[in-house]
Structure 1
Amino acid sequence: MKKNKPVRFKESVGIDIGTHSVKIVHLKKLHDGFNLLNYEVRPTVPQGVEYTLSDLRPERFAPVIVEMMKTLKISPKSIKHLVSSIGGDNTSIKQIKTIFLPDEELESALFFEAKKHIPISGSDMVLDYQVLSVEEKTNNMNILLSATSKEVLNEHTGILSTAGLNPHIVDIDSLAVANSFIMNAFAEEGVYVLLNVGAHRTNMVIWGPEAKFFA
């Protein structure tokens, strides 16, 4: 999950591994935003081969990514900042409210709290969080939890590793959409509805400067 830290990298590569296609973008950080250096989109199933969702095993994706990197003339070893995301039934995000806790107590407390709200086995859960706000009157904390299973995360990072890539940031799909929007300058107030429409699932984020809601 994005942690509101200064962006220190000069170039970044983003990979979206979808059921229908794989997308790669190569970005350069500028003073006031990003410059798109190159991009590539390829189907997960070669042309002429019947598309069957059940046939999309993890080992199918790495060779596609390798060929795309060659086309883009990007050496995997040269990538200093690789961003990707995961989604599906075994990923979840949830906004909760809790009493104020210092940083050294918060993470362990949230792991137990997450078991109440997120339908993933506690022993198999990989959890991250972000403090959205602290209420002045009550001192309660509004926190965004994101979680996945070790199996999903290991499968995803395994695909990238097989392609010779070292994962740096692995986001949840909905958060990746929100972070992409937030990092682009905008001045208007109000509420924004962000949709990520995929071949087999759609994510929706309702976002505003004063309040965020992820669904």
Structure 2
Amino acid sequence: MRNFLKNLLPKKNHFIGVDIGAYQIKAAEVKIVDGFPEVVNLKSIPSPKNVWNGQIDEENLVQALKDMANPVLKEVITCIGGEKVVSRVVRLPYLSDKELESAAKFEIQKFVPTPVDQLIIRYVRLSDAAFGALEAADKKGEQEGQDVLLLAVPLTTVYQYHSIFSRAGMVVTAADLQAFALWRVFGRNVRGTAAIVDFGAKTSHFVLVKDGVIKFVRLLPVGCEVLTDFIMNTYDVDYQEAMRILEEVDTALRSDYSQESRQGKEESPEDLTLQMEEAAASLENDYYAQPTGRTVKQLRDVISEITKELRRSLSFYFTQENIAAEKIILSGGMGHLKGFVKEMQSSLEIPVEIGVPEIEFAADKAYDPVYAISIGLALRELII
């Protein structure tokens, strides 16, 4: 009956995805145009200061959402902060929906100390035994089963989100997972194995996809903030100035790698450091216009901390499944820093690329990597 009524009702073709980050609130509007999804609007505003520190700053967050709301389109799809959601991929025998619901409650207690009656628990079948999607299990001769993504979030958090959006004049039609949003944008058509990494300010989302199927998800405890914080503390500047310095250093890295590519040879770390010092010395502000080679090296050491987190996740999955990622697809804040992307690729020794969504954009709109999750959220009701 539900499906029958659904088919009778007019289908909606215009959705908004809202991603509330530590520094920015991003909204993407996706609409069906000539039969295909198209990004028709992108909008962002600063998040309330310390919005995610301890308790959510409800009052300022409500006002911020009011400031960026679409006066006509009230329904939105959002995602709950990754640190508030517990997600695990587990291998279970093939079960009916009723059996899997009970199994999910039992399994989640292994990871969450909160009583199950205070949680909203969901499961998603990532591979289905009924359709033969048991590549790893069959190859190893293991017991037939399926990969299931278990999700748990406190009831109070879900109610709080609905309340905040309601007070801002919006209606939350769905609270989705960042991993699914990233999969919709970059992972559905992946052939082979790829790791999708979206860098936020404080944390990053890691999604490993094999042949279009999510195999592993993880929240990384590191984000772009480690780079900006280092610069802010080193030069005693504010966030905006830190971003300017970061972009200058990134430009130097891009120039170096371009020159290296043209010359067809690899330059020594000493040569690279000298070039970066010379580029940084062109900055107008005398206070930080003369960075030392040691400072440049420290910044590269900070980048190495980010790559270590990625390497840990890649190694964990390889240990579990004996399958190595063939490439990394980046989005989020690091998507602007192409020089640092080259640094990561050199460190990880596998291809690293900035993700490009397979979706049309309105003529006056251009893709920005920070909108990857919000675009994926808006696509939730528009693609299978």
TM-score (norm 2): 0.46
Cα distance, 1:38 vs. partner? 1.1
Distance 1:150 1:179 in 2: 26
- 2:200 maps to which of 179, 198, 201: 198
What amino acid does structure 2 have at the position aligned with 1:36? V
The DSSP-based 3-state class of the residue aligned with 2:201 is coil
Residue number in structure 2 paired with 1:12: 15
Within 5 Å, which residues of 2 pair with 1:5-154? 9-30=12-33, 33-45=36-48, 51-52=49-50, 54=53, 57-69=57-69, 73-77=70-74, 79=75, 82-135=76-129, 138-154=143-159
- Report the CA distance between 1:96 and its aligned residue: 1.0
Query: 4+ runs of 1 displaced by more than 6 Å?
Result: none
Q: Which residue of 2 aligns with 1:3?
A: none
- Give distance in 1, aligned partners of 2:113 and 2:198: 22
Whether contact under 8 Å (1:97, 1:140) holds in the other structure is: yes
Deviation sequence 1:37-56 (CA, Å, 0-9, x none): 112110024xxxxx445486
Structure with the largest fraction of helix: 2
Give 1 or 2: higher strand fraction: 1
Q: CA deviation at 1:144?
A: 0.9
What secondary structure does 1:143 align onto?
strand
With 173-182 and 12-21 compared, the bigger mean Cα shift is at 173-182
TM-score (norm 1): 0.78
Distance (Å, rounded) in 1 between the aligned partners of 2:84 and 2:28:
26
Distance 1:197 1:87 in 2: 14
**In structure 2, distance between residues paired with 1:65 and 1:113:** 36
1:20·1:199 contact (CA, 8 Å) conserved in 2?
yes
Q: Percent same amino acid at aligned positions? A: 23
CA deviation profile, 1:67-86 (whole Å, cap 9, x unmatched): 212xxx53244x4xx21101
8 Å CA contact 1:174–1:203 kept in 2: the answer is yes
How many Å apart are 1:93 and its aligned residue?
0.9
Q: CA RMSD in A?
A: 2.4
Aligned counterpart, 1:162: 167
Partners of 2:207 and 2:214 within 8 A in 1 = no
Distance 1:211 1:10 in 2: 26
5+ residue gaps, structure 2: 1-10, 133-137, 219-384
> In 2 relative to 1, CA 145–31 (structure 1 residues): closer, same or farther, beyond 3 Å?
farther
**Count of matched residue pairs:** 194
| Higher Rg of the two aligned structures | 2
Code of the residue aligned with 1:128 in structure 2: it is R
Contact 1:93–1:118 (CA under 8 A) maintained in structure 2: no
